[in-house]
Amino acid sequence: MNIILMGAQGSGKGTQASVIGPRLGLEKIATGDLFRAAIAKKTELGVKVKSILERGDLVPDELTNAIVHVRLRDMARQKAEGTVRGALFDGFPRTTGQAEALDRIMAEQDDHIDVVIEIQVPREDLVARLSGRRVCPTCGSVYHIESDPPKTPGVCDKDGTPLGQRDDDMPDAIRRRLALYDEQTSPLLSYYEGRGIVRRVDGNAPIDDVTDAILANVSEEKV
């Protein structure tokens, strides 16, 4: 079984991926992790990724797909040994080009994507969640005004410095990032919707309920 988990920044996708993966015996495939591993192992692809990231550029689809390809070939072995049941994709594919490449890679292994889960949270709720972050300019401690507030509002627990906000965490910057996400993912969702494998869950529910909703959608599929 292979699942793609989708959701904007702040949707709780990462949290859900770390819960769902072990529950279903699925190996999490996140390109950020794969890049770091390839760089650490100094593989040929890793060396290329390293120089691209050091320049501050985006890793091109071709290279990203190649790295995923290598990982899935390794995973095919793990599946044959019975240690893994499938993949849980987190943050990949990000473009239709990547989705097409993923289909080709999967087809090579007589495999396919079973279900795409989108964790939905209304835009303004995401803005509220993401813009609540506060940072201490002195020690770098990170707080959240709702989920992880300092003991005294507005000041760092450790050193009493007034907390500030990063430019990235300002509502306008967040809205721009979320708009970019929608722009990228809506063609991707239509790509999978054409196959009738997209399921949506309400990401505004408590974390455990979101997990249950995802598991319920997955178990409807033939495992």
Q: Which residues are catalytic?
A: 13, 94, 133, 166, 177
Closer residue to Zn ion, CB minimum distance, 32 or 160 = 160
Give the residue with the Cβ less far from Zn ion, 138 or 219: 138
Of 10 and 150, the one with the shorter C-beta distance to Zn ion is 150
C-alpha pair distances (Å), 177 with each of 6, 10, 20, 36, 165: 15, 11, 26, 23, 16
Rounded CA-CA distance 180/8 in Å is: 10
Q: How far is CA 35 from the centre of its chain?
A: 14
Question: C-beta of 134: minimal distance to Zn ion in Å?
Answer: 10
- Closest distance of CB 162 from Zn ion, Å: 10
**CB of 154 vs Zn ion, minimal distance in Å:** 12
Q: Which of 40, 47, 37, 98 is nearest to 69 (CA)?
A: 98
| Nearest distance, CB of residue 138 and Zn ion, angstroms | 5
Closest C-alpha to 138, from 157, 154, 159 = 159
Question: Between residues 160 and 171, which has the closer beta carbon with respect to Zn ion?
Answer: 160
- What does the binding site for Zn ion look like in residue numbers (CB under 5 A)? 136, 138-139, 141, 156, 158-159, 161
HSE, side-chain direction, 13 A CA sphere, residue 103: 11
Instruction: Tell me how far CA of residue 213 lies from CA of 14, 16, 20, 110, 199, in angstroms.
Output: 16, 11, 11, 28, 10
